[in-house]
Amino acid sequence: MPKVIKNVGCPYCGACCDDVEVTVSDDGKRVLEVKNVCAIGTQIFMHGGDHDGRIKLPRMRQPDGTMKDVSFKEAIDFTAKTLLKAKKPLMYGFGSTNCEGHAAAARVMERAGGCLDNCASICHGSSFLAIFDNGYPSCTLGEVKNRADVIVYWGSNPAHAHPRHMSRYAIFPRGFFTGKGHKSRTVIVIDPRFTDTGRVADYYLQVRQGHDYELFDAFRMVCHGHADDIPDVVANIPKETILEVAEVMKNARFCNFFYGMGLCHSDGRNHNIDIAISLTRDLNEFTKCTIMAMRGHYNITGPGAVWSWQFGFPYCLDLTKKTMVHMNPGETSSVDLAMRDEIDAFINIGTDAGAHFPIPAVQHLKKHPFITIDPSRNMASEISDLHVPVKICGVDDGGIVYRMDNVPIQYRKVVDAPAGVPSDEEFLDAVYERMVELEGEGFI
Amino acid sequence: MAKILLNMITQRSIEEGIAMEIGKPSKEYFEACSLVEMNEDDIKALGITPNTNVKVTSESGEVIVKAVVARQTCYRGLCHIRQGVWANQVVPPRTQSTGEPQYSGFPVYIEPAPFERIKSALECVQGAVGLWKEGNE
C-alpha cells in the first residue's frame, strides 16, 4: 500500500510550507502524489527518490570535454586535492542545503583556507548590510497571520516567487485577530510592474523603477509631519495617493512590510532596505509595524544563522587566514572575487552559479578547477570539471532549515535516495577527512 | 529597423520556477526564459509584431530572445527578462560594493533580429566558456 506522510516541509521557497502531504510508493523509492504544495514544489518532490532519471554517480570531465562516471572515492579525492592545491578556493551556494551541510562546509573551508559564501551574496545580502546599520524590527509569519491587518509587498511578487505565501500567512488565512481573512486585511503592493500580486491589492502603486528610495522618503515625510512639502508626484506616484496610503499604514492595528529583490537588486541596494527599516521604525510611533525580507530559497536563511553562530558573520566569509575570519561585501563577495579573478578553485553547492551569475563572472570562475555538488544537471554541472550528485534535502534527506522569519524547522526524508548517494554533509565530511589524510602524507 | 533604449529588470516568474525544477536543459525552461517582456507600444516602436526575435545589448553582453507583450504589465520604457540563463548574458556584474550584480535597472538597446536564432541554455553557458559542441544537448 502506498504510504501517506503528513506535515512534510517543502524544499522550494523561503515560505517553507510544512503542511505538505506526500504519498510514496510501496518500496519507499518514489513520490506518487503531493498535496498542499505549489506547482514548483510539486516538481521538486517528483524528482526525488530512486528512479531512472536520477544521476547516481559523480561525473568527471575528460580531456576531450565529455563527462565520465567515476566513484565517490575518486570524487572525494579530487575535491580534497583541488582545495588543498588552491591558494584561495571559493565555496558558494547553500540555498538548497540543510544546516548540517552548512556546518560541514564551514569546517572544510576553514581547513582549506578559502572563501565561503551563500546565495544571499546575490540576493538579500544588501538586507544584511542594512540590518547591521539600522536594526531589524521584524516578527514571525505566525504573528503576521494572527495580527497583521495591513500587508505591504514592496518590490516582491509572491504570486510567482513564493506561491503559497499569501494563502498561508499574509492575506487570505483567518488568524486569531484577523478572523475574516482577506476581508480583514488591506493589501498594498508597490512594484514597477503590475504583477499578479498587484492584482489582489487594494492599493497598487506603480513606482518608477529604481526610485523606491524617494517614495520611502515621501512616506517618512508624512510620518514626520511634513506632508505639505511633498512634491505633486514622487517616483511616478501622485501626492494624494501617497497621503492616502500613508494614512492606511498609520491607522493599521498591525502593519507588516514584505520586501524583495525589487529593492535589493536596484540602484541603491542596501540603502533602499535601510530606509524601509527607518519607515518601519517611524510607523511604530503610530501603530505596531514590522518588516520582513522575502528570502528566496527554503534554507537560504540557514547559512546566515549557522555561520553567524560559528564565525560571527552570515555571508561573504574570508577564511584564508584560518585563525580568524573577516567579511567585507564588495571585496569578499563571490561575484566581486570572480570579477577580480582572485579565485583559483570554485565549488558550487546547492545552487546554480552557471545560470544565475552574470556570464562574465562565470567566465572568470571557469578559468580554474570548477566543481558542482548538486542532485541534478544544471548549467553549473554542465561546465564543471566534476559533478557530484547528492541527496535532495527535504525529499530524500532530512535536516534543519530556517524559514524566512528565522524560525528553524525540522525537515524530513520521505523517500530513499539511490543507494550510495551521500548527503551534502556526508560528502563534505568525507572531503574533510581526506584533506586531513593528505596533509598527513605531506601533500602540498 | 528601429533600435530603442530601455530600462531592463530581471526577476523570478512561476513559469521559470517550474521549468527550472523540470531541468534547465529542458524545452520548458527554454520556452519560459528565452523571452523579453515589453510594453505593447515599445514593440510597435521597434516596427515588429509580438513574438518576433530581438537582440538585447547591454554594457556587458548581448543575447537573442523573443519579444512578447508583458502579461504582468511593464510601463513604456521598462522591459523584463525572467531571471536565468538568457537574462544573465546581459546582466552587468557591477555590484555597488555589495556583492549583488545589477540584476535590475540597467540600460539595454533592443533591436529586431527576426532572422537570428535563439541559442539554447547549454549553448549560451557552455559557449561562453568554450565547451559548446553540436550534440551537447
Per-residue pLDDT of A265-284, as tens digits, reads 999 999 999 999 999 999 99
- Domain membership flag for residue B122: yes
Instruction: Give chain B's mean pLDDT.
Output: 96
Residue-by-residue DSSP string for A29-56: S-EEEEES--HHHHHHHHH-SS-TTS--
- Domain membership flag for residue B136: no
The ipTM (two decimal places) reads: 0.97
Which residue stretches of A232-379 are H helix?
239-250, 261-264, 270-283, 301-311, 334-339, 353-356, 359-365
Task: Give me the torsion for CA of B80, A163, B17, A390, rounded to 10°.
Answer: 140
Query: How confident is the prediction along chain A (444 residues), in pLDDT tens digits per residue?
Result: 899 999 999 999 999 999 999 999 999 999 999 999 999 999 999 988 888 889 999 999 999 999 999 999 999 999 999 999 999 999 999 999 999 999 999 999 999 999 999 999 999 999 999 999 999 999 999 999 999 999 999 999 999 999 999 999 999 999 999 999 999 999 999 999 999 999 999 999 999 999 999 999 999 999 999 999 999 999 999 999 999 999 999 999 999 999 999 999 999 999 999 999 999 999 999 999 999 999 999 999 999 999 999 999 999 999 999 889 999 999 999 999 999 999 999 999 999 999 999 999 999 999 999 999 999 999 999 999 999 999 999 999 999 999 999 999 999 999 999 999 999 999 999 999 999 999 999 987
Residue B12's domain spans which residues?
4-128
Alpha carbon distance B87, B36 (integer Å): 9
- Domain membership flag for residue B31: yes
Q: How far is A302 from chain B (nearest CA, A)?
A: 19
Distance of CA A395 to the CA centre of its chain: 18
Identify all chain A residues contacting B104, using CB atoms and an 8 Å cutoff.
209-210, 261-262, 265-266
A15-72 pLDDT, tens digit each: 999 999 999 999 999 999 999 999 999 999 998 888 888 999 999 999 999 999 999 9
Alpha carbon distance A154, A272 (integer Å): 11
Nearest to A345 by CA among A166, A84, A20, A139: A84
Please report, for the domain that includes residue B68, its CATH number: 2.40.40.20
Query: A235-250 in b/e burial notation, b at 16+ Cβ within 10 A?
Result: bebebeebeebbebbb
Amino acid at A348: N
Identify all chain B residues contacting A383, using CB atoms and an 8 Å cutoff.
125-126, 129, 131
Q: Output the nine-digit C-alpha cell for A49.
A: 527518490
Please check whether residue B75 touches A, CB under 8 A.
yes
Amino acid at B137: E
Q: Are B21 and A159 in contact (CB < 8 Å)?
A: no
For chains A and B, what is the number of CB pairs under 8 angstroms?
Answer: 184
What is the side-by-side strand order in the sheet with A31-35? Answer: A3-8, A20-24, A31-35
pTM value is 0.96
Q: Are A261 and B24 in contact (CB < 8 Å)?
A: no
What would the CATH number be for the domain defined by A125-293?
A: 3.40.228.10
- Domain membership flag for residue B102: yes
Identify all chain B residues contacting A266, using CB atoms and an 8 Å cutoff.
9, 104-105
Q: Are B7 and A44 in contact (CB < 8 Å)?
A: no
Could you tell me what percentage of chain B is helix, strand and coil, using 3-state DSSP and rounding each to the nearest 5? 25, 30, 45
Instruction: Give chain A's mean pLDDT.
Output: 96
Q: Output the nine-digit C-alpha cell for A51.
A: 528512479
Q: Are B22 and A43 in contact (CB < 8 Å)?
A: yes
Identify all chain A residues contacting B33, using CB atoms and an 8 Å cutoff.
none
Alpha carbon distance B48, B59 (integer Å): 24
Count of domains observed in chain B: 1
Residue at grid coordinates 570535454:
A65
Q: Are A363 and B97 in contact (CB < 8 Å)?
A: no
Beta bridge partners of A204: A189
Half-sphere exposure of A390 (CA within 13 A, CB side): 30
Q: Are B7 and A210 in contact (CB < 8 Å)?
A: yes
Whole-angstrom distance between the N-terminal and C-terminal Cα of chain A? 55
- Listed by start position, the domains of chain A span 3-47, 59-123+298-440, 125-293
Distance of CA B12 to the CA centre of its chain: 12
What's the confidence (pLDDT) of residue A406? 96
Nearest to A156 by CA among B24, B72, B76, B78: B72
Q: Are B88 and A356 in contact (CB < 8 Å)?
A: yes
- Domain membership flag for residue B137: no
- Domain membership flag for residue B111: yes
In terms of Cβ atoms closer than 10 Å to its own Cβ (0-12, 13-18, 19+), residue B40 is: middle
Identify all chain A residues contacting B60, using CB atoms and an 8 Å cutoff.
358-360
Q: Are B101 and A355 in contact (CB < 8 Å)?
A: no
Nearest to B16 by CA among B32, B3, B30: B32
Give the architecture (CATH level 2) of A59-123+298-440.
3-Layer(aba) Sandwich (3.40)
